[in-house]
Amino acid sequence: MAMKMLFTRASTSTRQLARNINTQELLDKSKVFATKTAQIASAQLGNLSRSAQSFSPKVGATIDCTMYWGRVAKEMAKEVYAKQQLAPPTTAEYHQARKQLLDLFKRENVMKLTTKDVAKGALIGIEVGGFFLVGEIIGRRNLVGYDV
């Protein structure tokens, strides 16, 4: 019985609290919570960096270097995104590009291809394949095959 009364009081006070708090207060409280969470995360990362530095100066320097270049890459990406006005394609642009691609493979369009067009396509395919193979060789760091 006491538990039921306690639950009833808690739910009643929760409802009253929900009525009393307006949206702006809720947003302000969530901003404060997010700020505190970011500060705690930043402090924890700082602690991790300090403990790594005490573990080994080389590891600490590597972490600091990695963090620095990560921030630089993030800022560079922001600038490129803003200057190039990058944005994901809209649904209309997507459907238009899909339609153009499907139109390329229709029978009438394939029949209109000249020998010159087919030769260009074959050369582009060979070029793409060649770059893929060069990438594989670089990735393996070996011309013949993977080291097993």
- Rounded to whole angstroms, the Cα distance separating 13 from 72 reads 49
Higher pLDDT, 73 or 120: 120
DSSP string spanning 41-83? Answer: HHHHHHHHHHHHHHH-HHHHHHHHHHHHHHHHHHHHHHHHHHH
Place of tokens 């963090």: 67
Percent of residues, the chain, with pLDDT higher than 70: 58
- Determine the pLDDT at residue 26: 58
Contact 69/83 with Cβ under 8 angstroms?
A: no
The amino acid occupying position 108 is: E
pTM: 0.35
| 20-62 tens-digit pLDDT | 555 566 556 666 666 677 667 667 666 666 665 566 666 666 7
pLDDT above 80 (res 86): no
